[in-house]
Each structure stands twice: as structure tokens, then as C-alpha cells.
Amino acid sequence: MKKTFSDEDLIKNLSLYYLNRHLKKKPIEKYHRTIDQSPLHDREKYKKKTEILLLNSFMHHFPEIKFEDLTCESPDFIAKFDNKKIGIELTEVINHLEMKKIESSLNKIFRQAEILLEQEDTTRFRGVYFLEFHSDVRPDTLENQQEIILNIYKSIKRGKAYGCVKSLRKSFHRRNVFITHEYNMNLFDELCSEKIVELIEKKNEKFPYYDTSVDECWLVIVSDMNSIASRYTFIQDKEHLHQVKSPFHKIFHIENLCGNITSIK
């Protein structure tokens, strides 16, 4: 069976987060090794590694928390905190549903461009490249995708934006080529509190099926600020969140860039 994700893909996924100066590297590395040693399928290992990375900012707010079971399913993780066995259910809130499909296509394009550059000369091109595209870029057809890949390839080779690439910024990376989106924050990019409430209500329905051996079950809602589809500037009508009713013992919303946390329950 062909692997969905190579070991190199997993290394790159972790390497991008290494650029974040707030990353708690040692526990993350330990947790990733534990996941690697598990009997999970490669796809599930990748999913678990991504999930634990999203919890990095959460671990800064709860430095005493120790994860004991990283490969369970309902909830996603079992941890020890304050002499209690805590189940942690993790979910991501998507702020821009229309961007989710586009972002998925762009990530595949980035991977193809990375392969081209590494095949030509990894040593010369290695680094992390942050790209911004012109607003009319549409990666929804194979023809467009090939053109975007070529534009990215030429931009990185020339060291300046070309074609559909609006801007290019490079950061050091000691191993490989990694291409990602440039981070731009819209000052009026709001996350509607109703989206968070809807997520909580969906998780409430599944609560009876979670592991009953835990002392408490926490729900952690994450905005992945490294994702275009998940970014936001502020939560609209945040006061509505405190009116939520839920069987979860604690509910948090956290964003993984600056680590801002909102205690909902």
C-alpha cells in the first residue's frame, strides 16, 4: 500500500512549527516519538501529530499537564493534571469555509514545487518560503495548478516574485525546502461566536460516548492561525460564549500563533 504521507512530510510538518519561538520542542518531540511507536496507520499518525502540534499553545497555559495516552479516539487524548485523569477532545474551528478547499489545493501545489526544487538542488534552495499570491489566483483546475507550480519554482529560483506570486519571503531552514502561505492579518477579520457555539453543540451530542474512566473531560477548540481557512482577528459577540451549556467540565478556545486563550466554561 502506498503511504499517504512520507516520513519526510512529517518532518517538514514539525519543522515549520519549530520556527515558532513559542514551541515547546522537547515535549512535542517526545509525543511525536510516542505516536511513531504506536501501531496506528501512517494517516492516523499524521493526524495525531498535527493535533498535538495544535495543542502546543494550550500546553503553555497548562505546563503541568502530562499526556498519557496520545492514540485514543474518544476523547482524542488522555492526560494527567492536578492529580486527575483528564480526557481532552480537540476540534478546530474553521472561519472561512470557502477557503478550505482552495487551501487544500494550494498545499498540494506547494508540495509539487518543493519536489521540483529539491530534485534540482536541495542545498541551494533549502529554506522556508512564505508566499503571497495575487487575488485572482484560482488553483481549481489542473492547468492552473501547473502554471502556479511553475510560477513558484521560477520565483524561488530568481529570489523574487514572478507571475501569480505577489511576494516572496525566505527564512532559514537547515534541511529541506518548505513552502507555505505568507501570514497577513486582516484587521476586520472576525470569527463569529456562533460558529464556536455550533461546534460545542455538536460535541455535546457525542459526549455520552467518550471514555467514562476519566475524572473530567475538557473540550479544546483551536483556531489554527497557520491556516488561511482558520484565521481571525477577533471573536464577534464573545459574551455569547459564556451562555453555553455543556456536559464538558471545561471548554477553551485557543489560537496557536500568540496563544491567546478564552475560557468558555
HEC string for 160-186: CCCCCEEEEEEECCCCCEEEEECCCCC
Alpha helix segments (H runs only) across 126-233? 142-158, 193-206
- CA-to-CA distance for 29 and 27, rounded, in angstroms? 5
Percent of the chain with pLDDT over 70: 88
Instruction: Enter the DSSP assignment of 63.
Output: T
Q: Please, how many CA atoms are within 13 Å of residue 113, restricted to the half-sphere of its CB?
A: 29
Instruction: Average the pLDDT over 95-120 and give the result.
Output: 88
**pLDDT of 225:** 85
Band of the pLDDT at 263, cuts 50, 70, 90? very high
**pLDDT of 203:** 96
Helices and strands in the chain: count of H runs, count of E runs = 7, 11
User: 143-147, 172-176, 186-190, 200-204 — which is least confidently predicted?
Assistant: 186-190
Give 142-177 pLDDT, tens digit per residue.
788 999 999 999 999 999 999 999 999 998 877 788
Q: At what angle do helices 42-54 and 25-36 cross, to 10 degrees?
A: 160
